[in-house]
Structure 1
Amino acid sequence: MSEHDLAVTRPRPGVRAWPLYVGGFLGPYASTMVTPMVPEVADGLATTPELAAAAVTAYMLPFAAVMLVSGTLAERWGRARTMQVSLVAFVVACGLCVLAPGIGWFLAARALQGVTNAFTTPLLVAAITDLVPRAGLGRALGLFAGMQAAGQAASPLVSGPSAALDWRLAFVFPALVALVLAALPPTMTAGPPRTGPPPVRALLNRNLAVACGLSFLCYLAAVGLTVLAILRAADDFGLGPWERGLLASSFGVAGLLAAPLLGRRLDRLGPRRTGVGMNLLLAAGLVVAAVGPTVLLLGIGIAAVGVAVTGLRTTVNAIAATSTEGNRAGAASLALSFQFFGGALAPLLWVPLYSGAGAAGFAATAVAPALALLLLFALGPRRGTARPL
Structure 2
Amino acid sequence: MNARVALYIGGLLGPFGGGVVSAMLPELSSGFGVSQGIAATSLTVYLLPFAIVMLVSGSLGERWGMSRSIRVAYAGYAVVALLAAVAPWFWLFQASRALQGIANAFTTPLLLAKLAAVTPKERLGRALGTYGAMQAIGQTSAPLVGGLAAEGAWQWAFVGLAAVAAALAISPLPPDSRDGAAQRPASLRDAWRKSVLLTGGVAFVSWACLAGLPFLVSFRLDDAFALSPSARGLVLTAYGVAGAVGARLTGGAVDRFGQRAIVCVGLLFAALAVGAVGLVSWLPAVAVAWAVSGVCGQLILVGIHATVLTGGASGRGGIISVVTALRFLGMSASPAAFTGLYRYDAALGFLLPAALLVLTIPVVAVWWPRKAPG
- TM-score using structure 2 length: 0.95
* Deviation for aligned residue 1:368: 2.8
Structure 2 CA distance for aligned equivalents of residues 121 and 28 of structure 1: 10
Q: How does 1:23-102 map to 2 (within 5 A)?
A: 23-102=10-89
Structure 2 CA distance for aligned equivalents of residues 62 and 70 of structure 1: 11
* Deviation for aligned residue 1:248: 1.1
Q: Return closer, same or farther for 1:93/1:368 CA change in 2, 3 Å cut-off.
A: farther
Structure 1 CA distance for aligned equivalents of residues 89 and 209 of structure 2: 34
Q: Is the 8 A contact 1:223 1:343 kept in 2?
A: yes
Residue 164 (structure 1) aligned with residue 151 (structure 2): yes
Match of 1:225 in 2: 213
Q: Return closer, same or farther for 1:25/1:15 CA change in 2, 3 Å cut-off.
A: closer
Which residue identity is paired with 1:74? G
The counterpart of 2:296, out of the listed 308, 313, 325, is 308
Residue 348 (structure 1) aligned with residue 336 (structure 2): yes
The counterpart of 1:260, out of the listed 236, 248, 260, is 248
Segments of structure 1 that go 5 or more residues without pairing to the other structure are 1-13
Q: How does 1:9-24 map to 2 (within 5 A)?
A: 16-24=3-11
Which residue identity is paired with 1:120? T
Q: How does 1:214-253 map to 2 (within 5 A)?
A: 214-253=202-241
Summarize deviations over 1:47-86 as a string: whole Å, max 9, x none.
0011100011100110000000000000110011100000
SS of residue matched to 1:69: helix
* Deviation for aligned residue 1:194: 3.5
* Deviation for aligned residue 1:204: 4.4
Q: Return closer, same or farther for 1:67/1:114 CA change in 2, 3 Å cut-off.
A: same
* Deviation for aligned residue 1:264: 0.4
SS of residue matched to 2:186: coil
The counterpart of 2:119, out of the listed 117, 122, 132, is 132
Q: Return closer, same or farther for 1:342/1:175 CA change in 2, 3 Å cut-off.
A: same
Q: Percent identity?
A: 34
Structure 1 CA distance for aligned equivalents of residues 284 and 43 of structure 2: 28
Structure 2 CA distance for aligned equivalents of residues 341 and 266 of structure 1: 25
* Deviation for aligned residue 1:177: 2.0
Q: Which moved more, 1:185-194 or 1:91-100?
A: 185-194
Q: Is the 8 A contact 1:123 1:188 kept in 2?
A: no
Match of 1:107 in 2: 94
Which residue identity is paired with 2:344? G
SS of residue matched to 1:186: coil
Structure 2 CA distance for aligned equivalents of residues 98 and 119 of structure 1: 22
* Deviation for aligned residue 1:370: 1.7
Structure 1 CA distance for aligned equivalents of residues 74 and 319 of structure 2: 21
Q: Is the 8 A contact 1:51 1:103 kept in 2?
A: no
* Deviation for aligned residue 1:15: 7.6
* Deviation for aligned residue 1:367: 2.6
Which residue identity is paired with 2:70? M
The counterpart of 1:365, out of the listed 334, 337, 353, is 353
SS of residue matched to 2:302: helix
Which residue identity is paired with 2:109? P
Q: Which moved more, 1:109-118 or 1:95-104?
A: 95-104
Q: How does 1:275-286 map to 2 (within 5 A)?
A: 275-286=263-274
Q: How does 1:114-153 map to 2 (within 5 A)?
A: 114-153=101-140
The counterpart of 2:165, out of the listed 151, 175, 178, is 178
Q: Return closer, same or farther for 1:258/1:267 CA change in 2, 3 Å cut-off.
A: same
Q: Return closer, same or farther for 1:233/1:289 CA change in 2, 3 Å cut-off.
A: same
Q: Is the 8 A contact 1:271 1:319 kept in 2?
A: yes
Which residue identity is paired with 1:214? V
Q: Is the 8 A contact 2:199 2:368 kept in 1?
A: no
Structure 1 CA distance for aligned equivalents of residues 229 and 372 of structure 2: 47
* Deviation for aligned residue 1:207: 3.8
Which residue identity is paired with 1:110? R
Summarize deviations over 1:236-289 as a string: whole Å, max 9, x none.
111112111111111110000001100000000111000001111211110111
SS of residue matched to 1:202: helix
Summarize deviations over 1:147-175 as a string: whole Å, max 9, x none.
11111111112111111212212223322
Match of 1:274 in 2: 262
Give RMSD over aligned pairs: 1.8
Q: Is the 8 A contact 1:126 1:321 kept in 2?
A: yes
* Deviation for aligned residue 1:324: 6.4
SS of residue matched to 2:34: coil
Segments of structure 2 that go 5 or more residues without pairing to the other structure are none
Q: How does 1:202-221 map to 2 (within 5 A)?
A: 202-221=190-209
Match of 1:299 in 2: 287
- TM-score using structure 1 length: 0.91
Q: Return closer, same or farther for 1:225/1:301 CA change in 2, 3 Å cut-off.
A: farther
Which residue identity is paired with 2:322? L
Structure 2 CA distance for aligned equivalents of residues 248 and 262 of structure 1: 21
SS of residue matched to 2:285: helix
Match of 1:376 in 2: 364
SS of residue matched to 2:370: coil
Which residue identity is paired with 1:233? L
Residue 191 (structure 1) aligned with residue 178 (structure 2): yes
